[in-house]
Amino acid sequence: MTASQANKNYTLIKDKVKDLHLSTVCEEAKCPNLSECWSRGTATFMLMGDTCTRACQFCSVNTGNPNGWLDKEEPKR
């Protein structure tokens, strides 16, 4: 893959995530490999919002109980 194509892939993923108001593990966990994955055109999406109930020690994702709050529009995006 050329650097130009990698940059296009990264920009496409970044714009889609922002435009569709989606949460990715990549961003929420502050993954150091985000640009590598997005440049290949891949991203790991979080379902049901940006809060995780697991609280893994190595992860930076917000943890807690979403208290039943779910974005009912998320599946459409």
Q: Is the pLDDT of residue 74 over 80?
A: no
Say what the pLDDT of residue 33 is.
Answer: 93
Say what the pLDDT of residue 18 is.
Answer: 94
**49: alpha, beta or left, given left = phi > 0 and alpha = psi -120 to 50?**
left
pLDDT digits (tens, 9 = 90+) for 19-68: 999 999 999 889 999 999 999 999 999 887 888 888 888 888 888 877 76
Q: Is residue 52 domain-resident?
A: yes
Q: Which domain holds residue 39?
A: 3-64
Residue whose pair of structure tokens reads 């130009």 in the numeric block: 4
Q: Is residue 69 domain-resident?
A: no
Side-chain half-sphere exposure of 42, counting CA atoms within 13 A = 5
Q: Is residue 43 domain-resident?
A: yes
Q: Is residue 10 domain-resident?
A: yes
Pick the more confident residue, 46 or 15: 15
Calculate mean pLDDT across residues 8-25: 94
Q: How many CB atoms lie within 10 A of CB 2?
A: 7
Q: Is residue 56 domain-resident?
A: yes
**What total of structural domains would you count in the chain?**
1
Q: Is the pLDDT of residue 9 over 90?
A: yes
